[in-house]
Amino acid sequence: MHRYRIDPGRPAQIAARDTRDVQGFAGDRSAGKAAMKELNDQLEELQELLYAEGKHKILIVLQAMDTGGKDGTIRHVFDGTNPQGVKVASFKKPTPQELAHDYLWRVHSHTPGSGEIAIFNRSHYEDVLVVRVHDLVPESRWRPRYDHINAFEKLLADEGTTILKFFLHISQEEQKNRLQARLDEPHKTWKFSTGDLAERKLWDSYVEAYEEAITRTSTEAAPWYVIPADRKWYRNLAISTIIVDTLKRLGMEYPEPEEGLDDIVIE
C-alpha cells in the first residue's frame, strides 16, 4: 500500500491519481470482502492488545470531499473493535466558544491517550481547507497553519502517538452518483442538504486546497495516504491493510500477569 503514501517533500498530485485504482489488490469485490473479514479479525485482536498493553497511542485522520465515505470507513474498518478503546471525534462548524480560542484548541483534547485509537472525522485540516476555499480568514492567517499543524503533529508523535492520515479520493462523477442516491433512496434522504450542491461547485478550489495541504503536511511522523475511494470495498480494504500493518510493526505485547496466579482456583 506504499503506492498511496505521499512521501515528504513530494507533490500529492491528487488530480492525476486514479480514484478507481485496485492495483494494490489482485482480486474482485467478493475476494476483497473476504480479505476484509480477515483484516477485521486482525484489527480486533490488535486493538485489544493495544488497549491491554497501554503504551501506544494511535491517531487516524479522515478527510474527504462531501460523500467521500468517512462514516462508511469508520463503520466497516472498525467493525468489531472495542468501543472502550476506540473513540471518534467529528469536527463540524466551530462553536462560539471554539472560535474564541486558537483553531487547534478544540482538537487537542480529542487526541488519543495511552492504549487508545482516536479517529478524527474531519479534523484540524478544515482550517486550511474550508477556511481557505470560503475565504473565512485572510491568507496571511491560514497559510502559516501548515507549519503550525506540522509542529502540532510532531509534538504528538514525539509524545508517543502514531499518526495515520487518509484522504478518501473520489471522482466528481462518483460524488454526483452518491448525491443522487441520497435523493432517490428514502433511507438516505436525511443525509442530503442543498448546501452540498453549493460545495460541489467549488470542487476545483477544494482540489487545489487539498493538494497543497497534503503536500505541505505529509511527514515521516504523520504521513498522508491518498486512497482511491470510488470503490467502497477497496477503500476499506486499503485503509484496513495500512492500519493493521502499522499496528503489527509496533511490536506490542500483553502485560505480564501478576505472580502467584497459577495456584488460584475459582470456587
Strand 224-228 to 5-6 pairing: antiparallel
Closest CA to 240 of 77, 108, 80: 77
At 199 the pLDDT is 95
Residues in the chain where the model's pLDDT stays below 50: none
At 262 the pLDDT is 82
Closest CA to 240 of 12, 101, 34: 34
At 29 the pLDDT is 82
At 27 the pLDDT is 67
At 24 the pLDDT is 65
Domains and CATH numbers, the chain: 2-248 (3.40.50.300)
At 91 the pLDDT is 94
Which cell numbers hold the place of 138?
485572510
How far is it, in rounded angstroms, from Cα 62 to Cα 75? 13
Enumerate residues 6+ apart whose C-beta is below 8 A from 217: 125, 146, 149, 150, 153, 165, 224
Residue 33: how many CA atoms within 13 Å on its side-chain side?
4
pLDDT digits (tens, 9 = 90+) for 118-165: 999 999 999 999 999 999 999 999 999 999 999 999 999 999 999 999
Q: What is the DSSP string of 231-249?
A: SHHHHHHHHHHHHHHHHHT
How far is it, in rounded angstroms, from Cα 208 to Cα 221? 24
Considering the chain, what is the average pLDDT of its residues? 95
At 31 the pLDDT is 86
